[in-house]
Structure 1
Amino acid sequence: MYKQISSTQNSIVKYILQLQEKSRNRKKEGKFVLEGFRELSLALDGNYTINTILFYPEICSHERVQILLENTKNSPECIEITKDVYQKIAYRGSTEGVLTIVETKVHSLETISFHNKTPLILVAEAPEKPGNIGALLRTADAANVDAVFIANPKTDLYNPNIVRSSVGCVFTTQVAMASTSEIISFLQEKEISIYCAALTASENYHIQNFKNATAIVVGTEATGLSDEWLKNSTQNIIIPMQGKIDSMNVSVAAAIVIFEAKRQRNFES
């Protein structure tokens, strides 16, 4: 028999809500809340540690929970919850009846390792919107880049909206968070070319050679990249626009350039 919770005032319910709602609680506890089987499967593949599994048996059966337990490396606590509790803590409308408390990872530059001599890295400076961060992570996964660096981060990686909008891709790619200065130093030490998406002193992105070790750097739509990036850029690049505006969504721009780099690497002449 699993432990059962039927009251929405239970201390574990309150704990989960605090993890969902407050970044400082996630940082203090080193934990976050994850919903849904797809995301959980990706987290397990990414060697995340599951501490607690909460499930609503009307949606998620005991048998499915048992299969889930067999795929975990540790022995997480399992808690059966009622409909009222599930509706209280479910962040999304369709979470397949399961929520988990998961341990966060350290996302420092020191944790990054490359398995080839010509890594392809996506760098985003000071992204604020969780939806954009999630979309950047989806692009990184789709292109199978070697790492994503977030410079001068404005939000923590385990914000529920980032996890949700990334559809679990936050777990599938190496991610490091550091200052702009630290990331530039890291790239220079590794002799990785820096291509900054910018309007000034720029060349068209598709005439660049992205076959060597490369970092594609994008800034926010509102302010672009800081001067520190532009001063240390190997080459500023631009996506030619044919309409009346001179910018596009940051995740779209990043995807265009990243997949040009992949095209060059996959179809070398």
Structure 2
Amino acid sequence: MRMEAKLISSAQNPLVKKVLQLKEKSRERKKTGLFVVEGQREIELAQKGGYTLQTLLFCPEIIGDISIESITKSLNPEVIQVSESVYGKIAHRGTTEGVLGLMLSKNHALENICFKNKTPLVLVAEAPEKPGNIGALLRTADAAAVDAVLIANPKSDLYSPNIIRSSVGCLFTNQIGVGTTDEIIAFLRTNQIKIYCAALTASKNYVECDFKAASALVMGTEATGLTENWLKNSDQNIIIPMQGEIDSMNVSVSAAILIFEAKRQRGF
């Protein structure tokens, strides 16, 4: 049974304009504390990850057999019905099942990170910029169930639709902390987490390293690598030996190799 809901059929409606602003402008997302999530799976992953659904918009011509009640559960968000033409305007992609949510963002301060065991495995990415790389890193982190993803000096808004889409919802399944390089180094030291920096100089083959203790695998950008401050504070620089002509791989591929070696050592 489908609940009755207010209908919006005009693209000039203030809520439609608000959704478009939230999708397109990082400044608007930061000002309102809201962001846009498309698709039933992503909305449900966000709610499972502790995000609050404020408003749900749905298009009955597209939604099919999806139960609005199963998405909203007992949280009682505002539920709005939109016409097919309006949904086509606000949706980032046409295959999102006719449902779109406005969610409240989280505070990703480092002090909110909580480890459930004494030997956490942490992925650190310094200054990641490309949404596709960030999304792929988050997917890898989810697949390996790392204890936290820390982003140093971020260049992109985490709640950009491109990052949400490329992460296939893994933005919501990972514990994420954001800070400066200095803040994250201090956080790792305070928590007695060894720092392993992916770097070309003074490096040790990654398979020769012991990642069973509390460990942070630190990745830089493909263009410039890690900044000097990370290299000065590294407990051990690590390298993935290359057998071809190039000396680096995509950052998300490199991270996956290192993370799953650490997981292999830990018996998972």
TM-score (norm 1): 0.97
Residue of structure 1 equivalent to 2:236: 235
Which amino acid is 1:102 matched to?
A: M
Unmatched runs of 5 consecutive residues or more in structure 1? none
Pick one of 25, 32, 49 that aligns with 2:35.
32
In structure 1, C-alpha distance between the alignment counterparts of 2:252 and 2:154, rounded to whole Å: 16
Residue of structure 2 equivalent to 1:42: 45
In structure 1, C-alpha distance between the alignment counterparts of 2:184 and 2:107, rounded to whole Å: 16
Instruction: Give the 5 Å matches for 1:169-248.
Output: 169-248=170-249
Q: Do 2:56 and 2:79's aligned partners in 1 also have CA atoms closer than 8 Å?
A: yes
Deviations 1:8-36 (A, max 9, x none): 11100000000000001000000000000
Residue of structure 1 equivalent to 2:61: 58
In structure 2, C-alpha distance between the alignment counterparts of 1:174 and 1:67, rounded to whole Å: 25
Deviations 1:211-254 (A, max 9, x none): 00000000000000000000000000000000000000000000
Displacement of 1:75 in angstroms is 1.2
In structure 2, C-alpha distance between the alignment counterparts of 1:208 and 1:20, rounded to whole Å: 43
Deviations 1:131-165 (A, max 9, x none): 00000000000000000000000011101000000
| Aligned partner of residue 106 in structure 2, secondary structure | coil
Instruction: Kindly tell me the number of residue pairs found equivalent between the two proteins.
Output: 265
| Aligned partner of residue 58 in structure 1, secondary structure | helix
Residues 1:67 and 2:66 are matched in the alignment: no
Instruction: Give the 5 Å matches for 1:1-269.
Output: 1-61=4-64, 64-70=67-73, 73-266=74-267
Which amino acid is 1:33 matched to?
A: V
Select between 192-201 and 57-66 the one with higher mean Cα deviation.
57-66
Deviations 1:42-85 (A, max 9, x none): 11111110000000001215861122222xx4210111100110
In structure 2, C-alpha distance between the alignment counterparts of 1:93 and 1:216, rounded to whole Å: 37
Identify if the C-alpha distance between structure 1 residues 231 and 104 changes in structure 2 by more than 3 Å, giving closer, same or farther: same
Identify if the C-alpha distance between structure 1 residues 190 and 214 changes in structure 2 by more than 3 Å, giving closer, same or farther: same
In structure 2, C-alpha distance between the alignment counterparts of 1:214 and 1:246, rounded to whole Å: 24
Deviations 1:151-204 (A, max 9, x none): 000011101000000000000010011000000000011110000000000010
TM-score (norm 2): 0.97
Which amino acid is 2:10 matched to?
A: S
Root-mean-square deviation (CA), in Å?
Answer: 1.0
| Aligned partner of residue 258 in structure 1, secondary structure | helix
Q: Which runs of 4+ in 1 moved over 3 A?
A: none
